[in-house]
Structure 1
């Protein structure tokens, strides 16, 4: 079936959602329009909004920023002293000094709350809907509400519980919140379909198994978020192993030989993806994760001279050095997850003329002098035979043709460390072939859960149960050995939690998991680059002030998180 829901159908256009609401109210603008719709259209129109905000939620300045720029993987200084200034919110996010008025925190909160609200609307109405798919859609809506609730718990330490759209939500925390999410996932799992029926863009049995594994793995954190150290219950780790086993043994999923194809423009059918943000072209996705880190003078598409990067975040030197330490005298690019060369100009200077159809920028972690299409006065330079001229890039768009686009390891908040070329960049997701501005029209589905993470979660659970479990090493090496499109990473000979943490960084960088991993592994209060704050209360973010203000007529209902 692999069905795409028409986003503009029926209820998706009939409902208005209060983005700052804390009681999750919906306002129906015109109920009468529903009388002209078929049962199938009504059901589709109810479930479509449940998924519709996923691309926006996973945009560069929402969930991505909170999960990555707050960690040792990503940093975003004032570029050139002015660009990406945004009143210092990215500096504060990296340094763990964010406030309750941060617009990115508010934006992420609003997207999650709206999505929970839409899920409740779908649950309420689908329970009496007549279409044959209504029972399945009801299970998906309820499961997605649990997914959004888990995001809320992970980021803000609270969960809203609400069944009746006309009542105020109950707020729960800690063990009670974990139990609620667990109950909801377990309730819907039997009714969901598999990937072959609905694809990776909708909630499936395996997606729920994976999300349950993630919930159990982080249960100790969620139950006692400010604990000086976490005690991982053996029963929770058994559940992680149980549900990861289900996915691995199902046979539905396969590790990808080509690592970067997992994040490519045709990745929708990649069998490593278990649950993803569906961004196929007619679903109006975005290209922000591909453009965010590239330089303003990197132009990835021969057809669109207006599509470029924005000199956004780079990886920190701290994160880069974990690769260096792992590979010693070898360049870390020998690991196929680190880098993929697509422009031969880098290894052969004579390859300076490239046919438009063959022009494709490099992927992974980009270092040093960059080469590519050169735009002058709005058009690309061409070779005498009409091919695209590929050459050494400079900051022409900033009127600094004398300044090379030469990415350096050093990046911080100093003047020297915040120049336009400071920091090694990340081009993990493929740049959309149809993104005429560089920001719009995404094609690559955004991974929420994939098979490699499942193997690594299973390995972690085994190690937390027994430090010497040899099968944990086997799980990690299974993932490493799978990347056979080039020479795979060498097999590791030993495994412990520190090595597993490092391996999660190598495998899952830039995938919006780092903050959660750092907290679980006890690394979030550490020091890196410009971050020295070791306050445990910064493990979760402040509740936006707008949400607290919106609940002011309910005394004591919405309490700010400790430390903000």
Structure 2
């Protein structure tokens, strides 16, 4: 049975005394972040609920942007707080650098993402790096403060200590998730754990392979070990919190991209961990449409917390998680031109995000996943800065599956689906095609399950199911969900001339770009702060 009805952990986040404290306790892991609180652990962790509130802040580091909503006291500096939300930054790194998304705005550094012309001073890649290590440092401090010895010191009861063991597993998961994002985007980064002495000399740089091994071992330890720190079984976590399936998805992602990260084919491991998720039968594809929305589109609406196909989400609540990132960004930014914001449950549109013609052409006319607004929009993009150049994509909407508006027209209730069952299906199929074993018949069945749910029938044959089809199907199924950059890198189509899309490389027809752009640069600010770091090749 899945626990999907409440966001109680996120409600715990909004306890101001603890929100301010957490930043101060955790800041010292990152030499570029300064503490903001003088409160001490000895006066805080003896209070009832302190560890749950701290855990809520760890989850909230992927969601909210600071100490109050929607802005005013940000977690990280050097960037507008609205730009600084973790998932907005991550989404931009994975989508604006590809064919799937283009933006009309001209904020400093934003056009460089689509043009593949960023450098070490780019404010968005720098803020993404800071966000990753902010989450890591918070997680480390949680683990320092929740050891058996510390719990005894704080007078935590034996029953609560058992509960906190699961909290520790969740903190380790969230740290591993952030580290996966770190090696995916930046490559060789520092490996800082709870054993690192805060305030000591700057941490050393680790290789991608070392971080890979650490993330792998951590995720296995909190799912497969006989220790006390374990995530709930697949499907048994409270909604918005991690269960074993969330950890299995990160493991499968590591293994899927192992050829990029460590030069190894780990497709057999992809099959193992996606099979664990699929065979648990705790998650299922949405199959029932409503009068207003297809079964697929229900995954991206204001009541998508009821969708059984979402494995791990970043919950949004219009009154309790107010910020200008996440699905606030993804609901507002694609609305402009002749679009009526009220039709999407919004007070106004931001007239920014669209997609490119090759993405539109990837869908057939009957595919329920082709969620485009075309009236008054041209498919071709002559001017990136003109919102009506390019089709709009109102995939994320602040209305429910029955058409009711979200509770707040500025801040949507629509949760961000970080991991979905459909992705596990496609990962399994790709791993089979890459020689990982498994069943070719099952791979075909899983793909056709997705095609059937999209209104296309079971139309794919065994001869049609090849790697290029999988790449295209991943784009159709997972468009604007933060997967496209690493998919294109894994398939050798990100910087090369094997695939050109409009405005790739800064020209309308598209052009090949430099291979070093498969990694983002370490921020110039971080290099100045930590002399142990060496910049990624290709960046001066």
Correspondence 1:396-415 to 2 at 5 A: 406-412=376-382, 414=383
Residue 441 of structure 1 deviates from its aligned partner by 1.9
Indicate the residue corresponding to 1:289 in structure 2.
330
Correspondence 1:79-478 to 2 at 5 A: 84-87=105-108, 89-127=109-147, 128-129=150-151, 130=156, 131-132=160-161, 133-162=163-192, 163-166=195-198, 167=200, 168-190=202-224, 191-194=230-233, 196-224=235-263, 232-233=264-265, 236-257=266-287, 258-286=295-323, 287-295=328-336, 298-301=339-342, 307-323=347-363, 327=364, 332=365, 334-338=366-370, 364-367=371-374, 369=375, 406-412=376-382, 414=383, 418-431=385-398, 433-434=405-406, 440-465=410-435, 469-478=440-449
Structure 2 residues not aligned, in runs of 5+: 65-83, 225-229, 288-294, 400-404, 505-510
Indicate the residue corresponding to 2:515 in structure 1.
536
In 2, distance between residues paired with 1:91 and 1:535? Answer: 17
Give SS of 2:430's match: helix
Correspondence 1:1-16 to 2 at 5 A: 3-5=8-10, 6-9=12-15, 10-16=17-23
Instruction: Assess if the C-alpha contact under 8 Å between 2:32 and 2:526 holds in 1.
Output: no
Q: Which structure has the highest strand share of the two?
A: 1
2:471 paired with 1:492? no
1:64–1:321 distance in 2 versus 1, CA, 3 Å: same
Instruction: Assess if the C-alpha contact under 8 Å between 2:58 and 2:135 holds in 1.
Output: yes
In 1, distance between residues paired with 2:453 and 2:42? Answer: 50
Residue 59 of structure 1 deviates from its aligned partner by 6.1
In 2, distance between residues paired with 1:303 and 1:524? Answer: 33
Instruction: Assess if the C-alpha contact under 8 Å between 2:173 and 2:218 holds in 1.
Output: yes
- TM-score normalised per structure 1: 0.76
Indicate the residue corresponding to 1:504 in structure 2.
474
In 1, distance between residues paired with 2:422 and 2:344? Answer: 34
Residue 41 of structure 1 deviates from its aligned partner by 1.2
The structure with the larger Rg is 1
In 2, distance between residues paired with 1:66 and 1:244? Answer: 25
Give SS of 2:190's match: strand
1:336–1:19 distance in 2 versus 1, CA, 3 Å: farther
1:510–1:171 distance in 2 versus 1, CA, 3 Å: same
In 2, distance between residues paired with 1:459 and 1:20? Answer: 43
Deviations 1:232-264 (CA, angstroms, capped at 9, x unpaired): 52xx11111111111011111001111011111
Instruction: Assess if the C-alpha contact under 8 Å between 1:62 and 1:104 holds in 2.
Output: yes
2:94 paired with 1:67? yes
Deviations 1:131-180 (CA, angstroms, capped at 9, x unpaired): 34210111110111111000011011134322334244332123222111
1:175–1:35 distance in 2 versus 1, CA, 3 Å: closer
Indicate the residue corresponding to 2:525 in structure 1.
546
Residue 299 of structure 1 deviates from its aligned partner by 3.3
CA RMSD across the alignment: 2.7
In 2, distance between residues paired with 1:19 and 1:478? Answer: 46
Residue 289 of structure 1 deviates from its aligned partner by 0.7
Instruction: Assess if the C-alpha contact under 8 Å between 1:278 and 1:445 holds in 2.
Output: yes
In 1, distance between residues paired with 2:86 and 2:347? Answer: 18
Structure 1 residues not aligned, in runs of 5+: 78-83, 225-231, 339-363, 370-405
Deviations 1:489-542 (CA, angstroms, capped at 9, x unpaired): 452112000001010010000001000100011110232211224311100111
Higher deviation after alignment, 11-20 or 494-503: 11-20
Higher deviation after alignment, 530-539 or 56-65: 56-65
